[in-house]
Amino acid sequence: MQIFDIISLLIFCSGLFIFINTFFLKLPSSIGLMVMALILSLGVLAFSFAFPEYHLAQHVKQYDFTDVMYRFVLSVMLFATALKIDFRKLGNQLIPVLMLSFFGVLISTFAIGSLMYLLLDITGIEISFISCLVFGALISSTDPIAITKTIRQYDISKKLETKISGESLLNGGIAIVLAYTLVNVQQETVFQGVLNTWDITLIFLRDIIGGLVVGVLFGWLGFKLLKLVDNHVVEAEVLITLALVMMGSYLGDSLSVSSMMVAVLTGLIIGNYGRSESGESAVGEYVYKFWILIEETLAAMLFVLIGFEMLVIPLRLDYFALGFFAVVIVIFARWLSVFIPIKLMSKNWKFDQGTISVLSWGAIRGGLPVAFTLSLSNGFDGKEIIVTLTYVVVVCSILYQGLSTATLMKRYESNNSRNSKLSST
């Protein structure tokens, strides 16, 4: 089975599952896709045991997804997500959103990484602390599509909705950029041995600052080019943005800087300046629609891929048991990463009652962590355990948190209406 066969299979299953979910199951898209993908995977496994000569897992395992995920899927999804961020809409919530996104990811990464390192050490599984931090960073990325679609179904305050949607959009880019920088630290450790604090600092500066410079350059260049093109020439505008993403990823890798940072910065600059009054005609509406479509299509394919991942992950009972411990650790770390910044900011900014609960429990993990784990090279320290832990956490997050978030939001609605009645009397 070739890569195009696998992609065709993913597209076919995604389309079929979306159709079944839309007209029959009528579940939130991420949950419906996950349920059907898991059922399909269990069916394929059962069929494979009955007819070993048709074992699909052997075909899936023989292909390395690293290049496709790293050079295309992650860059495209991060660019598309960044393109949607409009800092003007955040208004006076911009600072709280930035603080929650940046410091929240840092707190979550170190909390998850430290606790998982201790847990794995107790169970006798050898893995470096840096690899645990990589897992902490990648699993801190939340799914903005699932969160945004969920909260819009309920009557919540505009401030809270802005915080949730803004934080979820920024969160993924920051988490993935940090995760890839930590991967580079791990790789340098393998090549050079033990690194000191200065060496690690230089790697972070090279990746982050270098990626920022290249990203700003590509974003500015893209904005200037798009201003020259008439909005009616949709194909030209779309091709320019596609070329920027692909070349940005290539140049970032060539210069040994963070290509993920390049994608995020390019999207942020084009998205925000393209909407500004001075650049109103720079980016046509169809460009935004195109990238939203691409993002949601890739997200749907990744949800199906999560289900198929059952065919390739090592079926070790100890890994799965640790995965369920990881679920608890990830939820706790998310609460901690929301609680600490909000408590520190509450002196200067007002937060609605229930903000911590909604932000903590509503943080559903999606396709980005899965794409990231599949982009890791086969020689990466602890890849098998990281892939299994990510799989278990993402599946539990989508099914458990995804299905129970509605209950939390209804409780938030009822508390809000009760408080409104009390304040009016």
Structural domains in the chain, sorted by start? 65-424 (1.20.1530.20)
Question: What gap in Å lies between CA 80 and CA 263, rounded to an integer?
Answer: 9
Residue 232 is predicted with a pLDDT of: 83
pLDDT tens sequence across 322-352: 999 999 999 999 999 999 999 999 988 888 8
Angle in degrees, CA 131, 10, 2, rounded to 5: 85
Report, in angstroms and rounded to the nearest whole number, the Rg of the chain calculated over CA atoms: 21
Average pLDDT over residues 47-56: 70
CA distances from 397 to 31, 76, 291, 324, 362 (A): 10, 24, 26, 11, 9
Instruction: Select the more confidently predicted residue: 144 or 101.
Output: 101
Average pLDDT over residues 241-255: 91
pTM assigned to the model: 0.90
146 — pLDDT class (breaks 50, 70, 90): confident
pLDDT tens sequence across 8-17: 878 898 899 9
Q: Is the pLDDT of residue 279 over 50?
A: no
Question: What gap in Å lies between CA 127 and CA 382, rounded to an integer?
Answer: 6
Buried b (16+ CB within 10 A) or exposed e, 203-239: bbebbbebbbebbebbbebbbebbeebebeebebbbe
Q: How far apart are the first and last CA of the chain?
A: 68
- For the chain, give the percent of residues with pLDDT over 70: 92
Instruction: Select the more confidently predicted residue: 29 or 139.
Output: 139
The pLDDT mean for the chain works out to 86
